[in-house]
Each structure stands twice: as C-alpha cells, then as structure tokens.
C-alpha cells in the first residue's frame, strides 16, 4: 500500500532583462515546474541574484514572453533593480550585502 505523500506546490519562475535605454524590462523566460527549476538553475549558475516573491511572479506570469513589463509594475521592478545595483556596488567595494527587500508594493495588472 502506498502512502499519499504531500505534494510540493508547483514552482513558478520568471526571468527579466533590462537593457540601458529601453523603456522597461522584458520578460525573457517564464515557466512552471521543471521549466521553473531550469530557469532558477541557469540563473544560479550565471551568478544572477534571485528574489522570491510569489505575488510578483504571479503577476509577471501574465506578461507574454519578450514583452515589456506593464507600467503598473514599474515601481516594484525599479526597487528590485535598485537593490541589485546596491548588491553589485557592495561586492565591488567589499562592503556587506544589503538586506533583501522584505516588502514590495504590488499592484494588479
């Protein structure tokens, strides 16, 4: 007889890119389950910092691939980009890494 094991929630992941001069960041990868795990694995291998926010990922999953994020998410993503900038600056100067943003203002698309 096989016991029913608790199921792990289906993981989701979204990857963004931002090019200097572009109007807004773009969604370049997104997926659930194994695809999400692959996105996270590739990011970790590349040394990309990962921010976990189920609410933000849920909103970004509604954005089509290669499309810019909607204006309603500009502020949230700008705060994350600022955090990443501070991380890069801290690494270059040998200072301690800044704390992960604990609250991100979210607005529905």
Q: CATH number, domain at 51? A: 3.40.1690.10
Question: Higher-confidence residue: 8 or 32?
Answer: 32
Q: Is residue 31 domain-resident? A: yes
C-beta contacts of 104-108 below 8 A and 24+ residues apart: 104/53, 104/55, 104/56, 104/76, 104/79, 104/80, 105/75, 105/76, 105/79, 106/55, 106/56, 106/59, 106/73, 106/76, 107/72, 107/73, 107/76, 108/59, 108/72
pLDDT in tens, 26-57: 999 999 999 999 999 999 999 887 888 889 99
pLDDT for residue 43? 92
pLDDT in tens, 65-100: 999 999 999 998 988 888 888 888 888 888 887 776
Q: Is residue 100 domain-resident? A: no
* pTM confidence score: 0.76
Structural domains of the chain, count: 1
Domain that holds residue 53: 12-93
């Amino acid at each position: 007889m096989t016991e029913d094991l608790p199921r792990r929630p289906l993981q989701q992941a979204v990857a963004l890119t931002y090019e200097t001069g572009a109007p807004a960041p773009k969604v370049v990868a997104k997926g659930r389950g194994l695809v999400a795990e692959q996105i996270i694995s590739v990011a970790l291998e590349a040394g990309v910092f990962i921010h976990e926010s189920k609410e933000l990922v849920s909103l970004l999953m509604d954005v089509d691939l290669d499309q810019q994020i909607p204006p309603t998410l500009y502020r949230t993503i700008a705060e994350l980009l600022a955090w990443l900038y501070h991380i890069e600056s801290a690494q270059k100067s040998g200072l301690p890494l800044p704390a992960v943003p604990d609250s991100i203002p979210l607005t529905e698309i």
